[in-house]
Chain A
């Protein structure tokens, strides 16, 4: 293991002489933690709306005011007829059309009920669903107000008051940031090792190494350890950014976050090195890694919850190391989960680490 020291000196020097890499190590976490949570939000705001007011009454005007005062909606146009509004929807200018019926005010006074039609563009299901929910809420509120004013009904409207645990504001950021940290790591300490060994193959320097008696474990460790340290730096740096920029701090233990990430970085950099060992050139390695990264990210629960996937897909995600770390990071950050509570995430990661580590060493061939 004496040679390891010399190999490490070499790897660190090469890493920091490459002017691009250290730049990435700082800029990418910054972009991921600072920018992505702002742009990849699932809150729906600024929905464009067209209203057809067939009634032209005081009550219909009040409804229009209430809707356009909401932070969720912009009143894009008031139309005279449905065709005109539908045309706007077709063109993509608006996503919602509210039609207030002809005898809106009269019906309300006479029967205590009136109709409002909502047309929703559901091409983006999430946007449509949420927007419809918001609209319904506003209309119901308005109905409640009206009945209170008229004294037509004294009974309190039924309302559900949910209590949100762990993330009281249902803020998107504390949920996304811990997961984005894990994704940043895949891009840096998973992807870069994949280009490393194969890069030495392309430059021919691997020949000079292969003809020495250097051990395979030593060589692979010399490739792994620099990414390990860089990965842990990125975790620390991302945590500081999350705290300073968004005020997001873990509810649970920081050492536990590092424990998980030590294992996780080992897993992904081993996978990267394995891909590198099998590849003949950098392009090949990059394509294979790209495939893995996309699949890993999509099936990790980062964007869509695992529990809503079909059973077979849920089973398949067990092969995804990202799944375990994202679950663990979110639980530590939001719920303050402790090690015993996360053991079911920790053990699979460790098994994955052993398999990937052994594979990375075995696939490195000094003699073919």
Chain B
């Protein structure tokens, strides 16, 4: 981890009609950090993340990712990030290999480079035998691992993960976090949302959003100390039960 700031949000806001999904949030993420972005359902996490990825225009405030403004230079931002959405979004009717070739090609990787990286990746994931398998016939846990590997396939500076382990069994979740650590070791900044408090413990720093605002932001150890509790679950519970918004 370095002191270089790679994500900087200042008063970042997204409003849909009268509803303020993300309400003037400000934070900074340092290079190489694993940054946990927590919040109950409907707290505005995904909205904030979509703005940072250049998928959604901020209504107010500003943010820069990898040195580019998310409102004006969103296509530049996209060159330097990877993104794994909440909903599985690889092509079901393409094979593992074809998905990797497609996205490698879109990011401008040469065929030789794609081939080389693909061999490494399949080896690492133990997917070598599934190279020509249609993605739709993979089990969920494998799909999630593949989606993550694809999000960092082009060596982005930052990877955004939106609830990457939703619906995945504990063993696979553990393996998934090993992948995240490995990416972090390679110097990739990880920005991750989650509902699992054990996962929050794995993060270098954690922010907790309640009703569109960031209510707390620190290392898991400091947060526990600050709230005088022993687990991240209690920290989260103390903050999130104040929430007025329900599922949404």
CB under 8 Å from chain B, chain A span 7-28: 7, 9-10, 13-14, 17-18
Cβ-defined contact, A212 with B85, below 8 A: no
Residues of the A chain whose Cβ atoms lie less than 8 Å from the Cβ of B103: 208, 212
Q: Does A214 contact B (CB under 8 A)?
A: yes
Residues of the B chain whose Cβ atoms lie less than 8 Å from the Cβ of A210: 55
Residues of the A chain whose Cβ atoms lie less than 8 Å from the Cβ of B105: 2-3, 5-7
Cβ-defined contact, A211 with B83, below 8 A: yes
* B94 smallest CB distance to A (angstroms): 6
Residues of the A chain whose Cβ atoms lie less than 8 Å from the Cβ of B85: 204, 207-208, 211
**With A6-B102, A7-B106: A13-B94 Cβ-Cβ less than 8 Å:** yes
Interface string of B156-183 (1 = CB under 8 A from A): 0000000000000000000000000000
Q: Does B26 contact A (CB under 8 A)?
A: no
Cβ-defined contact, A212 with B106, below 8 A: yes
Cβ-defined contact, B91 with A10, below 8 A: yes
Q: Does A246 contact B (CB under 8 A)?
A: no
Number of B residues near A (Cβ < 8 Å) is: 30
CA distance A3 to B14 in the complex (A): 32
Q: Which of B72-80, B120-128, B199-207, B227-235 has 4 or more CB atoms under 8 Å from chain A?
A: B72-80
Q: How large is the interface on A (under 10, 10 to 19, 20 to 34, 35 or more residues)?
A: 20 to 34
Cβ-defined contact, A7 with B74, below 8 A: no
Cβ-defined contact, B107 with A205, below 8 A: no
Residues of the B chain whose Cβ atoms lie less than 8 Å from the Cβ of A203: 89, 92
Cβ-defined contact, B55 with A207, below 8 A: yes
Cβ-defined contact, B93 with A14, below 8 A: yes
**With A213-B79, A367-B55, A367-B56: A205-B89 Cβ-Cβ less than 8 Å:** yes
CA distance A207 to B91 in the complex (A): 11
Q: Does A58 contact B (CB under 8 A)?
A: no
Cβ-defined contact, A3 with B55, below 8 A: no
* A272 smallest CB distance to B (angstroms): 20
Residues of the A chain whose Cβ atoms lie less than 8 Å from the Cβ of B87: 204, 207
CB under 8 Å from chain A, chain B span 78-128: 78-79, 81, 83, 85, 87-94, 98, 101-108
CA distance A205 to B150 in the complex (A): 13
Cβ-defined contact, B57 with A367, below 8 A: yes
Residues of the B chain whose Cβ atoms lie less than 8 Å from the Cβ of A209: 106
Cβ-defined contact, A14 with B106, below 8 A: no
CA distance A366 to B70 in the complex (A): 13
Cβ-defined contact, B106 with A207, below 8 A: no
Which chain A residue has the least Cβ–Cβ distance from B56?
Answer: A368
* A225 smallest CB distance to B (angstroms): 16
**With A13-B98, A366-B55: A214-B106 Cβ-Cβ less than 8 Å:** yes
Interface string of B41-75 (1 = CB under 8 A from A): 00000000000011111000000000000000011
Residues of the B chain whose Cβ atoms lie less than 8 Å from the Cβ of A204: 85, 87-89
Cβ-defined contact, A368 with B90, below 8 A: no
CA distance A321 to B232 in the complex (A): 63
**With A2-B108, A3-B106, A208-B83: A368-B88 Cβ-Cβ less than 8 Å:** no
Contact partner, A368, options B57, B91, B93, B94, Cβ 8 Å: B57
Cβ-defined contact, B54 with A14, below 8 A: no
Residues of the A chain whose Cβ atoms lie less than 8 Å from the Cβ of B98: 9-10, 13
* B89 smallest CB distance to A (angstroms): 4
Residues of the B chain whose Cβ atoms lie less than 8 Å from the Cβ of A6: 101-102, 104-106
Which chain B residue has the least Cβ–Cβ distance from A15?
Answer: B93
Cβ-defined contact, B74 with A367, below 8 A: yes
* B159 smallest CB distance to A (angstroms): 11
Interface string of A23-59 (1 = CB under 8 A from B): 0000000000000000000000000000000000000
Q: Can you list 15 contacts pairing A with B, beta carbon distance less than 8 Å?
A: A7-B102, A7-B105, A9-B102, A17-B93, A205-B91, A208-B83, A208-B90, A209-B106, A211-B55, A211-B85, A212-B78, A212-B106, A213-B75, A366-B74, A367-B54
Question: Residues on A close to B: CB < 8 A?
Answer: 2-3, 5-7, 9-10, 13-14, 17-18, 203-214, 366-368
Closest 8 CB pairs of A and B: A6-B105, A211-B83, A204-B87, A208-B89, A204-B89, A213-B78, A3-B106, A213-B79
Question: Residues on B close to A: CB < 8 A?
Answer: 53-57, 74-76, 78-79, 81, 83, 85, 87-94, 98, 101-108
What 5 new A-B contacts, CB under 8 Å, besides A207-B87, A211-B83, A367-B55?
A2-B108, A7-B105, A9-B102, A203-B92, A204-B85
